[in-house]
């Protein structure tokens, strides 16, 4: 414990939390800054149509959350959290730089596209190393019994949202000017943000990232312990299981890619698909989401209690898919809505559509302390909802946000712009839902995971965001355009009202079912 100090003072929080806060803040600045411009860049500079742009957007945001599985696995087994975070940050910085170059040459569409897809590839890879590992590190700063974890994850989640607040403001201001040649400045700002995060983490990590005893955490796992020898014995079995898993993933990907509608002779294929005839990336994501959790939970080194706890993570993660699929419309269909259907005129000044993406994080940063106080007030009075119920409340609030905006657009003629109140109200209600669900979910996953699998399981948790983001891109394709009627599993989307109600039904149903299951899940959690 040469350069580190003990952090077992239970007042306040260890300094390491604030280092993780700042690092994650810059990384999210970079992610959301690019994301605020990405759709608009594809449509306005590269002249993609909205359906194609939605597909690319959905695939990117889906894959970004698929790779944490790989990053989590490599960290738990070989690199540890620290190294994974630094490697991930540097890869993402290069990815953002390629997007900057793409936007510099957007007139040469072929080259710009090529640079853009290479940049996206690096962002996807880098995020895989970064995201699960920084989240797990938060939990590692505390002892197992420490009750401050929920509040630590809430503070960390505020860091996420400080970055997400600044990103669209800064990148939107310099990148979304109405002139396609300015997109590059927004991407460059994202690149600089990522470099700053990496440098700050690298400089201070040895000093502040330690456990309550002052020992460094997040370093590479030790080699050649008895445990390793046992795992080596299992190694053969794991490879056989690993190969089976890969084969199963490939087969399922193929099955999901088959266009069953076409085989069945169904002519109505408007609006995209969920499981049948999905594009390759969507199919791969859905296949991975099914196969990988099975591979992990059948690992021989897990005992029964550990398996039950991991099973609980899976059940909650499944419901959480419906939260993020509806919530993530923020960067997709809700950006179109802000751009085309919302009156953004404030006293003669036309607010850029990208600014709407700051509403949610600003509200989150403001509301987080209120929610933290509310939970502790309820806790003191014995009325605090369980962690699982909080997830269900989050889903319910999401449905309410869409119900609110559905009323706002009911009977409005296409092309007529509505007041900003509707989108603002939706974001306010969604933010409250997010506070019930997201930080509590991270804390729950950390607490339920066996330590040797914690980053990998964080990767599994992000798999639900992966599936959700892919679904969000697909659902955004139902955004009504030019009077065309699109059909989603028999539900006809003719106008914005129908479109928003789709999300009310989806997240409302998920909320009710999870609420009904919550007692049972909570009991299983405590009994094991």
Is 470 among the residues that bind ligand GLN (CB under 6 A)?
no
Binding map of ligand GLN across residues 208-247, x = CB under 6 A, - = no contact: ----------------------------------------
Query: Does residue 23 touch ligand GLN according to CB under 6 A?
Result: no
Query: Which CB, 336 or 462, lies closer to ligand GLN?
Result: 462
Q: Report the nearest approach of ligand GLN to the CB of residue 404 (Å).
A: 21
Taking the complex as a whole, how short is the minimal distance between the CB of residue 387 and ligand GLN, in angstroms?
Answer: 16
Nearer to ligand GLN, 391 or 465 (CB): 465
**CB contact at 8 A, 176 and 352:** yes
Q: Which one of 73, 79, 106, 324 is in contact with ligand GLN (CB under 6 A)?
A: 324
Smallest separation, CB 465 to ligand GLN (Å): 4
**Residue 323, token pair as written in the block:** 């939260």
Which residues ranging from 98 to 117 are in contact with ligand GLN (CB under 6 A)?
A: none
Least CB distance to ligand GLN at residue 320 (A): 8
Tell me if residue 213 falls in helix, strand or coil: coil
- Taking the complex as a whole, the smallest distance from the CB of residue 342 to ligand GLN amounts, in Å, to 22
Q: Among 341, 465, 507, 518, which residue interacts with ligand GLN (rule: CB under 6 A)? A: 465
In 3D space, the residue among 423, 421, 390 whose CA is nearest the CA of residue 500 turns out to be 423
Distance CA 156, CA 134 (A): 10
The answer to whether 28 contacts ligand GLN (rule: CB under 6 A) is yes
- The DSSP output letter for 299 is -
Site string for ligand GLN, 273-312 (x = CB under 6 A): ----------------------------------------
CB-wise, 277 or 282, nearer to ligand GLN? 282
Query: Shortest gap between Cβ of 487 and ligand GLN (angstroms)?
Result: 28
**Residue 104 — left, alpha, or beta (φ > 0 → left; ψ -120 to 50 → alpha)?**
alpha
Question: Given the complex with ligand GLN, which of 35 and 82 has the nearer CB atom?
Answer: 35
**Complex with ligand GLN: residue 335 or 465, whichever CB lies closer:** 465
Query: Least distance to ligand GLN from the beta carbon of 343, Å?
Result: 27
Contact, 501 vs 326, CB < 8 A? no
d(CA 368, CA 366): 6
CA atoms of 486 and 87, how far apart (whole Å): 43
Is residue 90 within 8 Å of 126, Cβ to Cβ?
yes
User: Residues 160, 171, 423, 472: which binds ligand GLN (CB under 6 A)?
Assistant: 160
Q: Compute how many residues bind ligand GLN; rule: CB under 6 A.
A: 5
How far is residue 139's CA from residue 454's CA, in Å, rounded to a whole number? 10
**CA 279 – CA 261 distance, rounded (Å):** 14
DSSP, collapsed to helix, strand or coil, labels residue 486 as: strand
Q: How far apart are CA 160 and CA 157, in angstroms?
A: 5
Tell me what percent of the chain is helix, strand and coil, each rounded to the nearest 5. Answer: 75, 5, 20
Is residue 226 a contact partner of residue 241, using CB atoms and an 8 Å limit? Answer: no
* Min dist. Cβ of residue 491 to ligand GLN (A): 25
Interface residues toward ligand GLN, by CB under 6 A: 28, 160, 324, 462, 465
């Amino acid at each position: 414990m040469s350069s580190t100090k003990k952090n077992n003072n239970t007042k306040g929080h260890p300094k390491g939390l604030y280092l993780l806060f700042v690092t994650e803040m810059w990384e999210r600045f970079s992610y959301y800054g690019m994301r605020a411009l990405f759709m608009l860049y594809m449509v306005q500079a590269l002249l993609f149509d909205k359906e194609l742009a939605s597909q690319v957007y959905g695939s990117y945001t889906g894959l970004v959350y698929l790779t944490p599985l790989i990053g989590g696995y490599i960290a738990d087994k070989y690199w540890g959290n620290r190294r994974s975070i630094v490697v991930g940050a540097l890869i993402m910085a290069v990815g953002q730089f390629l997007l900057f170059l793409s936007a510099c040459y957007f007139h040469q569409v072929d080259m710009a596209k090529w640079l853009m897809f290479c940049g996206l590839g690096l962002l996807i890879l880098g995020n895989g190393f970064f995201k699960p590992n920084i989240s797990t590190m938060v939990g590692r700063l505390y002892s197992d019994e420490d009750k401050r974890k929920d509040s630590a994850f809430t503070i960390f989640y505020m860091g996420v949202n400080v970055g997400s607040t600044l990103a669209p403001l800064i990148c939107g201001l310099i990148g979304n000017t109405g002139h396609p040649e300015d997109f590059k400045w927004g991407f460059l700002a994202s690149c600089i943000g990522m470099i700053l995060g990496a440098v700050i983490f690298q400089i201070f990590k040895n000093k502040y990232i330690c456990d309550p005893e002052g020992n460094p955490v997040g370093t590479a796992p030790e080699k050649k312990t008895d445990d390793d020898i046992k795992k080596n014995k299992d190694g053969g079995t794991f490879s056989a299981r690993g190969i089976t898993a890969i084969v199963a993933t490939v087969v399922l990907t193929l099955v999901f890619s088959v266009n069953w509608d076409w085989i069945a002779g169904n002519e109505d294929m408007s609006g995209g698909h969920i499981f049948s005839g999905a594009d390759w990336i969507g199919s791969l994501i859905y296949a991975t989401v099914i196969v990988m959790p099975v591979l992990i939970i059948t690992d021989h080194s897990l005992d029964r209690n550990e398996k039950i706890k991991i099973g609980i993570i899976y059940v909650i993660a499944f419901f959480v898919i419906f939260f993020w699929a509806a919530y993530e419309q923020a960067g997709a269909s809700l950006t179109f809505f802000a751009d085309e259907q919302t009156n953004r005129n404030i006293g003669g000044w036309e607010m850029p559509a990208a600014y709407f993406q700051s509403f949610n994080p600003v509200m989150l940063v403001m509301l987080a302390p209120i929610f933290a106080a509310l939970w502790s007030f309820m806790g003191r009075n014995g009325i605090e909802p369980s962690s699982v119920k909080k997830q269900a409340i989050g889903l319910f609030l999401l449905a309410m946000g869409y119900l609110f905006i559905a009323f706002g657009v009911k009977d409005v003629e296409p092309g007529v712009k509505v007041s900003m109140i509707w989108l603002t109200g939706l974001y306010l209600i969604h933010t409250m839902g997010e506070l019930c669900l997201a930080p509590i979910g991270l804390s729950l996953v950390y607490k339920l995971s066996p330590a040797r699998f914690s980053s990998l399981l964080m990767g599994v948790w992000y798999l639900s965001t992966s599936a959700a983001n892919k679904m969000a891109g697909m659902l955004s394709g139902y955004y009504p355009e030019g009077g065309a009627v699109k059909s989603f599993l028999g539900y006809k989307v003719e106008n914005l009202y129908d479109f928003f109600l789709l999300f009310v039904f989806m997240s409302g149903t998920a909320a009710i079912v999870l609420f009904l299951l919550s007692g049972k899940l909570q009991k299983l959690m405590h009994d094991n």
